[in-house]
Structures are given as C-alpha cells and as structure tokens.
Amino acid sequence: MSVHASIEPLAWESAFFALHSGRLRFCDQAPPLQAAACDAYQLVQAKVPADDLACCDALYALGFRLAEGEVDFVLPVQAASPSGGQRPARVEDCLWLRALAREAFALSRFRAPWYHPQDSGRFYAEWVEKAVYGTFDHACLLALDDAGSPQGFVTMRALATGAARIGLLAVARSAARRGVGRRLVAQAQAWCQTQQLSHLSVATQIGNLAAQRLYLGCGARLDATAYWLYR
C-alpha cells in the first residue's frame, strides 16, 4: 500500500523545540509519500485513525514508529452551573500555571527518543500561558478552594464549526480526589454555553485511564481513536 500525503512544515514547533518538524497531511490526490521527502525533516509526525492499520503498516515500512495513542471524546453542553469557586486566570497566575503544566504534562507524545525529557512539560507550560493571553486557546479558567487559591485549570478554544475543544485540563496534586476535575469540566461546559457553542471535544492519551474515567463520568461519549507515528 502507498501512503498518499504531503508534508506540512510545522514552523512554530520547529522553532520551539529546535527540531525541524513536519506533519503528514493525507490526501488521495497527493503523490505517494517517499522516504526522501521525509529525510528533509528531522522529525515527521503522522496522526492515523486507529482502525487504519494498513496505513500504519505502510508508514512503518517508511521508517515511522509508534509514539502515542489518543482518544477523543465529545461532551454535552449542559445548563447546570458549575459548583465551587472559580475565575478566569490572570497574568499573575502564570507562574503557578506553568509549574502545574510542567508537572501534569511531563509525559506526552513529545517524548524521548524524539524529544528531550523536559520538552513536554516546557511545551505545555507555554501552551497554558498563551491561553491566559487568549492566543491559540481562547480562555483559561481556574477552580478555587474555599480560601480562593487555585486547585486546577482548564483551557478552551472555540472552533469555526461552532463547537469548542478543551486544550488542557490539570488538577494540582494537593487537590487530587476532591472532585476538582469534574468542576473544571463543568466550567468548560458553562463557558461553551455563554459562547453559544454546540458541543465540547477533548482528547487524552490512550494510557491516561484517570482522564478517560473523568470524561466518561461527566457524560462524554467516545468519538475517535488515533495513533501518533513519528519518523
């Protein structure tokens, strides 16, 4: 089987990781992918539906290897108001947000041997700070304890389709097993309502059972599964 795809340069990631990177864009009209085209990059990423094993096999023949599995969920947009203290994140929260992101997302698809060990946490720390400023993700909300101290955060992005996607969701270790994750999901759902968005999507690693249980417990339905392959 031939893989018909072009390679999209990933300019921002290339600069951030100091790693010339591209991503496959599959298209039946594209010419068959050649190893020489991939050789022009230090790293080429491919996201393949988990049921397309023929494509996975063809990419393996070109030197790609499995990096991570991903599960995508769709959550309903509910009318119920989220419980507990909450507020939008502010610039002065960024140090706390970055520290939590580095800890919570130390393991991801941005992992060795393709990336440096600290790259994953560094990437997601940058992501959450950008969300505070409304760039890439459009909002960052905090869950607060009774004293007003942050316990976790969730970032959201409105899509052109009229839906929304959770970018990141993390709970501080000191606030684990207190229902903070459910509160953050409820905050994201309420944000969708205020923005008049139809539904809410979220993805997580296939091995992150705690996150999958959280979303299913909040009424999510499984929407898609995929593999990330790297070369």
Question: Which residues have CB under 8 Å from 209's CB, separation 6+?
Answer: none
pLDDT at 78 over 80: no
Distances (CA, A) of 73 to 2, 35, 166, 180: 30, 34, 10, 19
Distances (CA, A) of 87 to 8, 134, 146, 165, 209: 38, 15, 13, 19, 28
The average pLDDT across 11-24 equals: 98
Q: Which two tokens stand for residue 209?
A: 């059972």
Catalytic residue ranges? 215
pLDDT tens track for 87-103: 999 999 999 999 999 99
Domain 74-225 classified CATH 3.40.50.1820? Answer: no
pLDDT tens track for 157-171: 999 999 999 999 999
Instruction: Provide the pLDDT for residue 51.
Output: 97
Map tokens 């607060």 to a residue. 144
pLDDT tens track for 53-67: 999 999 999 999 999
Q: Would you say 208 is a known binding-site residue? A: yes
Query: How many Å from the N-terminal Cα to the C-terminal Cα in the chain?
Result: 18
- Chain mean pLDDT for the chain: 96
Q: Which two tokens stand for residue 210?
A: 């705690």
pLDDT at 82 over 80: no
Instruction: Provide the pLDDT for residue 152.
Output: 98
Ordered alpha helix ranges (H), 62-172? 94-104, 119-132
Domain boundaries in the chain? 5-63, 74-225
The average pLDDT across 1-20 equals: 97
